[in-house]
Amino acid sequence: MIWLAGLIGGMGLACLILRSTLLGIMVGIQLLILGGTLIFVLAGISSGARLEGHVVALFVTLGGMAQLVAGFALAIRLFYLRNKTEMSELRSLKR
């Protein structure tokens, strides 16, 4: 099962490398978080600390929502000002 969690995270990493838009990058981060939470749950089971694994996975999942909110907010800001959501345009927001 660990390989599945690693593969989900790995695909998220690959997605982060491949995509150039903010939405694509956020999909990659979501996949990475999905793999990460699964790893924590499985690691908790394998180490005998089942409950701790669940708690950490819960924190990671909810922390991922903060990333999503920040990502969407940045994308909206970029779209207002530049009319596009390319990652390369983020630098142009710097004053």
Partner 1 sequence: MILWIFSLIALVAVVIAAFAGDVRRVTLALWIAGLSVGCIYLTLSAEVLAIIQWILSTLTAISFTFFGAMFGEYGSREGGTSNFIAYFKDGRFLLTSSGLLVGIGFAALIWLGAGRIHPNFLIVPESGNDIAALGKSITDHHLLSLEVLALTLFLALIGGGVLARPEVQGEVQS
Nearer CB in complex with partner 1: 62/88: 62
C-alpha to C-alpha distance for 37 and 16, rounded to whole angstroms: 18
In this chain, which of 25, 38, 88, 90 binds partner 1, going by CB under 8 A?
38
38 contacts 5 by C-beta, under 8 angstroms: yes
Any idea what DSSP says for residue 90?
G
Assess 90 for contact with partner 1 (CB under 8 A).
Answer: no
**Residue 55 has which token pair?**
């708690």
Nearer CB in complex with partner 1: 66/88: 66
Residue 84 Cα to chain centre, angstroms: 21
Assess 87 for contact with partner 1 (CB under 8 A).
Answer: no
Residues at the site binding partner 1, with contacts judged by CB under 8 A: 1-15, 17-21, 23-24, 26-28, 30-31, 34, 37-39, 41-43, 45-46, 50-52, 54-55, 57-59, 61-70, 72-77, 79-83, 85, 92
